Chains A and B, each alone.
Chain A
């Protein structure tokens, strides 16, 4: 019985430790998942263990501790590394085709289907 209680308390302690750890970096995880690791192709800052990504995560944590919100942090990083760092590109002169093209294709495809259906 005593052993059982001991085991349960140990597991509980480990569990609570993990929880507090997760709570600490959850915000960092959330932000770093939206950031492109610029020196490792095809990985987010969250996934990467490169020096660049590790420093980036520390910086994000610092900014959060300073009381900055997500938007401010993204803006800060964009001012340093350009639009490319965020996975979600904004609509501007250079990216307008990126946003509009799927819409055009969607409408075009819709017209094609409608025509086929009406012919039948």
Chain B
């Protein structure tokens, strides 16, 4: 009897730990902090890709109702994959898409845009990656949707855009209007 209880207990423990691990597999291990309107610093300074002038985020997000900040680099393969989605979003005409060129060479960045098209209304460069850190970014690609009027972050995507995220973005823009 005692032996049986021991055996049942062991089997039970194994099953429970297996289940915990199984559930853990499906959980995303990407940690993302709560979005907070105060989290964005609009005084951030950066230079344009196509001119040497300096600008701030305030100046960048002044037109249209929404801004989409997209951090990209020519060396980043997922950025290539998500580029058609940005072009698609730009064709809506409701978004002011701002590109932040992350740790890239000027020549390669311009080549990338020439080859794949330019969905961005403005592109700024971030050669040291400091601006992206100031935005709270993790790396490339990353996309942040901002409501220009309330100056709040509506949505943040770490990683490339896909069909699901595109639909979600369109939904948010539609609902906010």
Interface residues of A (CB under 8 A from B): 38-39, 41, 50-52, 54-56, 58-59, 62, 79-84
Contacts and interface: CB of A to CB of B under 8 A. Distances in A.
26 contacts: A38-B138, A39-B138, A39-B139, A50-B139, A51-B102, A51-B103, A51-B129, A52-B129, A52-B133, A52-B138, A55-B133, A56-B133, A58-B128, A58-B129, A58-B130, A59-B130, A59-B133, A59-B134, A62-B130, A79-B36, A79-B38, A80-B133, A80-B134, A80-B135, A82-B31, A82-B34
Contacts of A62: 130
Contacts of B138: 38-39, 52
How would you classify the secondary structure of chain A's contact residues: helix, strand, loop or mixed?
helix
Which of B102, B130, B132, B135: most chain A CB closer than 10 A? B130
A42 B63 CA distance: 42
Contact of A80 (B39, B102, B128): B39
Nearest to A54: B129
Contacts of A55: 103, 128-130, 132-133
Contacts of A38: 31, 138
Which of B102, B128, B129, B134: most chain A CB closer than 10 A? B129
Contacts of B139: 39, 50-52
Contacts of A82: 31, 33-34
A31 B102 CA distance: 24
Contact of A79 (B39, B128, B129, B130): B39
A50 B139 CA distance: 10
Contacts of B38: 79
Contacts of B4: none
Nearest to B128: A58
Nearest to A83: B33
A41 B129 CA distance: 20
A83 B130 CA distance: 20
Nearest to A41: B29
B136 interface: yes
Contacts of A54: 129
Contacts of B133: 52, 55-56, 59, 80
B103 to A, nearest CB: 6
The 10 closest A-B pairs by CB, nearest first: A82-B33, A55-B129, A80-B136, A59-B130, A59-B133, A58-B128, A55-B133, A39-B138, A84-B31, A58-B130
Nearest to B38: A79
Given A51-B103, A58-B128, A80-B135, 8 more contacts: A51-B102, A51-B139, A52-B138, A55-B133, A56-B133, A58-B130, A59-B133, A84-B33
